[in-house]
Amino acid sequence: GQNIDQPTEMTATEGAIVQINCTYQTSGFNGLFWYQQHAGEAPTFLSYNVLDGLEEKGRFSSFLSRSKGYSYLLLKELQMKDSASYLCAVLQPSGGYNKLIFGAGTRLAVHP
């Protein structure tokens, strides 16, 4: 079967650092994405990892360990506008193509 797990909710303080973890078990793997989604809006792309290691992009970084089926999203210098849901998604091969399978998302609340 396939399973993508991430914590349901997290809280953090403005200016702090937060790490959102994601573990996955999927039949096939062609990369892992992180998306940000504000309530009632479309998800927006944050990061993509296909090789092991850390990808840094401004205040956001994403890490992948394929052998452990594990990824995390690191958010630094938190701002109030970072309050949103963060979706972990695995790109899975399917009949010669790819499709994205999503976790349930982590709802992050940033407090002053």
Partner 1 sequence: DGGITQSPKYLFRKEGQNVTLSCEQNLNHDAMYWYRQDPGQGLRLIYYSQIVNDFQKGDIAEGYSVSREKKESFPLTVTSAQKNPTAFYLCASSIRQAGGYGYTFGSGTRLTVV
The binding site for partner 1 (CB under 8 A) comprises 4, 8, 30-31, 33, 35, 40-45, 48, 50, 87, 89, 91, 94-95, 97-105, 107
Nearer to partner 1, 48 or 60 (CB): 48
State the amino acid at position 109 in one-letter form: A
Nearer to partner 1, 43 or 69 (CB): 43
Residue among 85, 53, 47 at smallest CA distance from 68: 53
In terms of Cβ atoms closer than 10 Å to its own Cβ (0-12, 13-18, 19+), residue 31 is middle
Cα 100 from Cα 102, distance rounded (Å): 6
CB of residue 103 vs partner 1: minimum separation in angstroms? 5
CB of residue 77 vs partner 1: minimum separation in angstroms? 24
